[in-house]
Structure 1
């Protein structure tokens, strides 16, 4: 009997990636054989993003691309675009199933058995306008081929930033039950993961039966089976001294923070309905840099928000230049239907947006190089991934530095001390440090 193939593809954030892994586990339990995205398939599950117009456009393109090499493939679409753009997706030919966020992780249950999969004359809709606000559990736990496990602890956001469609796509803040987190942690530890990345939309708002985010982190710090716990992107208003002290004192919590700034101008932050000011953000970052040694620090910056004058942009550029960020994520503003920012009139010309984005992207490269150069001479712990590329084995340091070494051998899922000897803006390079092996400094490779 022939197996029925299924492929999955994720657009967007780490939370989406975590949920795709869960969906993959559900498909395997239903009898599907998972194949790499882009290969001929009988089923495509596309986990979409709606943060930008480009993400929506990419979703539509990937559906058409899949139907070219697999014209009879059953197409199931879920994720943020399925929640906010359902009417648009209903008009696209070839889609068989559209599942909104309320029912996202139940998607495999809406499919017929693998051997009975058939195209449908019209898309079936599983959609709810109102997403439940209560605490949640996951239906099953996924196993990933990656060395770092993504662990969903929270969903939704109630902040209502004026540019952001996520509250409309994912609903209000809600937290995963602590008992369900415990169960998955036991499974992940038994599978041998060395690092767990905590994911969510607004993870600093985690709350379940009297346990807040910091108390959850303290529990993780004592839990058996992991060497590293990493926090994904976290809002500045949810980072306090208690969290910074935990990151500084813990042997498991990674010295890494990604704290979105969005703009370096207070008037723009106010128009964005952000809940921090430049003064409060600077105070937080200064405290973090003093408290946490060798901190890896990233941020998000948006350019072209309506009303962003040249002066406002220069304020953003100045803040980004002055602080020792290890990298910058730069996003052009994208108008999202239903958000408050749509009503703002002072639109920025596309040419100006591109010019500003290019300046910040050049600064990002300089920041990455400066941070990697700062690691030279230090010995840092690196979790290695599988395989090699161009003769190098690569991994990620606890402070999120990308590291390559030339030593041959399979170091997958091993955490090893590496002394950094060279750097580019893309990666730091070094050698494993041990009593039995001391390699000379390496030449910088061309990657």
Structure 2
């Protein structure tokens, strides 16, 4: 479809739009939906800010530093708009939902504000903003899943893709804004998920990651997550299947048994712990104890001994003591994580923690505890990778290595990055390799045969 020829805020425009994405995999997936919606309406995607008539910033509100990056970026856009006054700026996603009033009333650089459930309305809102009126849609939905929209893949490797299976969250963890910015949990029709996966495989993709705020609670017409995972795995034995994120309270033996039945379901589980202290977990409203979490780790080790486990950890949540912190460190050692996302607690407005608890752990204590967590995880990651040295692994090649044109990189089923000599390998190739060396972040391999 040709681009619409209309005037954007008083200057000739070709209807080109540019999108920047911040935050989680779900936001990356949402950006691909936004591109599909905009292109269907006749707008033209560009990966160059300098060419754009419309700039969309897909935002994250999970942590304060994520929002601060957006405010800094908006300051830069104000300068761009002085040179190109016809350019429209839209804030979309979680930050748009959380800070709509401030963005609408105070932020001069912003013309469009759209929450995660309003992406279908974006083309009309852009045209409204082009007429000089701020355009807003921050209504949350109980039904919207964008199920029939075919996302436009922005990752150009053509090998891996995200597939959103559900939206929203019902867990109400006391520190988290997601239920307020993404609404209630709703699952997508399984048949539309399978159709999307089959299409991706037919186009040459060799790995999909099923996404949800809590994939374990997926349920659509009596298809639960274990059942959906099995059906996706059956699309082809040549298709790797990953998923994220799992909530420990819902992580069942049935799911582990399903993973064990299908070799193409990757042997990697992201299981956010957040803390190793049952007292902290109760304050966080995580609805499991340290003992429950370790029982799930033990079940994974028993039924999937080759599986790697990663996690999320928060340092310095409200009232955290040194004893609570030590419990997190001991949990890390017992679980033997291959990788972790680690953060200092940052209070988020309107969450239960912000309303009812004091953010009373001093910043310097948070920093010191986070440093200990990071240092320990570096040791655990190195130990996990050293255990791979001497093993034969299957690597799915994703692209050329950034450090050398003579090397390619890919991942094992355990989600570990492997560097291989380039030879004649192409993205999407499966390569059997011997692991010869490692760092805490990567494995080094040589092809076999």
* Same fold at TM > 0.5: yes
Q: Which deviates the most, 38-47 or 200-209?
A: 38-47
Shift of 1:3: 4.7
* Selected match of 2:147 from 137, 144, 156: 137
Q: Distance in 1 between matches of 2:374 and 2:26?
A: 25
Does the alignment pair 1:324 with 2:336?
yes
Q: Distance in 1 between matches of 2:144 and 2:130?
A: 35
Counterpart in the other structure of 2:434: 419
Shift of 1:387: 2.7
Q: Distance in 2 between matches of 1:346 and 1:22?
A: 37
1:136-155: CA deviation from partner (whole Å, max 9, x where unpaired): 62433323424211000011
Q: Distance in 2 between matches of 1:203 and 1:104?
A: 22
- Structure 1 residues 69 and 387: alpha-carbon distance in aligned structure 2, compared to 1, 3 A threshold: farther
Shift of 1:242: 1.0
Q: Distance in 2 between matches of 1:37 and 1:276?
A: 46
1:386-414: CA deviation from partner (whole Å, max 9, x where unpaired): 23322221111111001101233352121
Does the alignment pair 1:282 with 2:294?
yes
1:29-428 equivalent positions in 2, closer than 5 A = 29-36=40-47, 39-69=50-80, 71-72=84-85, 73-90=87-104, 91-112=106-127, 119=130, 121-128=132-139, 130-133=140-143, 137-144=147-154, 145-146=156-157, 147-224=159-236, 226-342=238-354, 343-345=356-358, 347-391=360-404, 392-428=407-443
Shift of 1:93: 1.4
Q: Distance in 2 between matches of 1:225 and 1:83?
A: 40
Contact 1:102 1:132 in 2 (8 A): no
What is the root-mean-square deviation in Å for CA atoms of aligned residues? 2.0
Contact 1:27 1:108 in 2 (8 A): yes
Counterpart in the other structure of 1:438: none
Shift of 1:122: 4.7
Q: Distance in 2 between matches of 1:352 and 1:160?
A: 26
Shift of 1:92: 1.0
Contact 1:96 1:123 in 2 (8 A): yes
Q: Distance in 2 between matches of 1:346 and 1:182?
A: 44
Q: Distance in 2 between matches of 1:313 and 1:381?
A: 37
Contact 1:23 1:108 in 2 (8 A): no
Could you tell me which runs of 5 or more consecutive residues in structure 2 were left unpaired when the two chains were aligned. Answer: 6-12
Q: Distance in 2 between matches of 1:86 and 1:346?
A: 25
Q: Distance in 2 between matches of 1:213 and 1:282?
A: 22
- Structure 1 residues 86 and 134: alpha-carbon distance in aligned structure 2, compared to 1, 3 A threshold: closer
Shift of 1:120: 5.7
- Structure 1 residues 224 and 262: alpha-carbon distance in aligned structure 2, compared to 1, 3 A threshold: same
- Structure 1 residues 38 and 3: alpha-carbon distance in aligned structure 2, compared to 1, 3 A threshold: closer
Q: Which deviates the most, 64-73 or 214-223?
A: 64-73
TM-score if structure 1 supplies the norm length? 0.91
Could you tell me which runs of 5 or more consecutive residues in structure 1 were left unpaired when the two chains were aligned. Answer: 435-447
Specify the SS of the correspondent of 1:111: helix
Shift of 1:77: 1.3
Structure 1 segments of 4+ aligned residues over 6 angstroms from their partners: none
Specify the SS of the correspondent of 1:282: helix
- Structure 1 residues 389 and 235: alpha-carbon distance in aligned structure 2, compared to 1, 3 A threshold: same
TM-score if structure 2 supplies the norm length? 0.90
